[in-house]
Amino acid sequence: MSSQVSFSSAGTSLTAAQVTSPTGLPYESGWIDTAGKYLPTHGLIDFRAKMPAGQGLWSGLWLLGVESPAKPEIDVQEMLLGNTTTAYGSLHDWNQDSSVWGETESGATPDASQGYNDYEVVWQPGMITWAVNGVAYAQYTSAQAAAAGQPWPFDSTGAYLIANLAVGSASSWGGAPTSSTSFPATVQLQSVKVWQ
């Protein structure tokens, strides 16, 4: 990996607020991406961010392929922010019938709401490794996918980078906010770096 692309994002924040959205939902939140601008295939991808804490908040730092329908998906970090010490890394392939398969791993992290951390994925041909602050906690390979009878679409296309903060509902993975969840809640994104 010899070259680095760095996105200056000092001061970039993604904020969830308890206000009615234009579509009538009880919250508004934020999402930024590099769609149509930057689509890496392979490399070390590093998101440096500080998370809010709160039941029902759900952060995502991820990559999404450009095939139609949008696939595959590499989740560098997802956190259900009712627990700010567990990060999840996942792989998903959305196939023709819109079902999803995934390999999800979790790793213990420093409290994400108390300071900035580096959420990283090393994306190599046939292998993806997840790390927090340079410490790897999971790895998945094309050989493991083949042994499980799954495809490995992660080397065939570029993917754009996404950072978002979502607010869940009672039926979503992390559940809905409670009366103790503070709004506005903000992900502070300090930098995004890619080495290829």
> Domain boundaries in the chain?
4-195
pLDDT score recorded for residue 190: 94
Half-sphere exposure of 118 (CA within 13 A, CB side): 14
Q: Is 32 exposed, middle or buried (0-12, 13-18, 19+ CB in 10 A)?
A: middle
* Local mean pLDDT, 10-residue blocks, the chain (196 residues): 60 92 91 92 95 97 82 92 94 62 74 96 96 93 88 87 95 94 96 92
Would you state the torsion angle of the CA atoms of residues 158, 48, 196, 31, taken in this order, to the nearest 10 degrees?
Answer: 20
pLDDT score recorded for residue 98: 44
- CATH topology for 4-195 is Jelly Rolls (2.60.120)
Residue carrying the six token digits 């993975």: 173
pLDDT score recorded for residue 109: 82
pLDDT score recorded for residue 184: 97
Q: Which of 28, 67, 78, 105 is catalytic?
A: 78
pLDDT score recorded for residue 104: 72
pLDDT score recorded for residue 78: 95
Looking at residue 101, its amino acid is: W
- Residue 28 among the catalytic residues: no
pLDDT score recorded for residue 63: 95
Q: What does DSSP assign to residue 23?
A: T
Following DSSP, what letter does each residue of 117-165 receive, concatenated? EEEEEEEETTEEEEEETTEEEEEEEHHHHHHTT----TTSS-EEEEEEE
- Residue 73 among the catalytic residues: yes
Q: Which of 28, 67, 73, 120 is catalytic?
A: 73
pLDDT score recorded for residue 157: 81
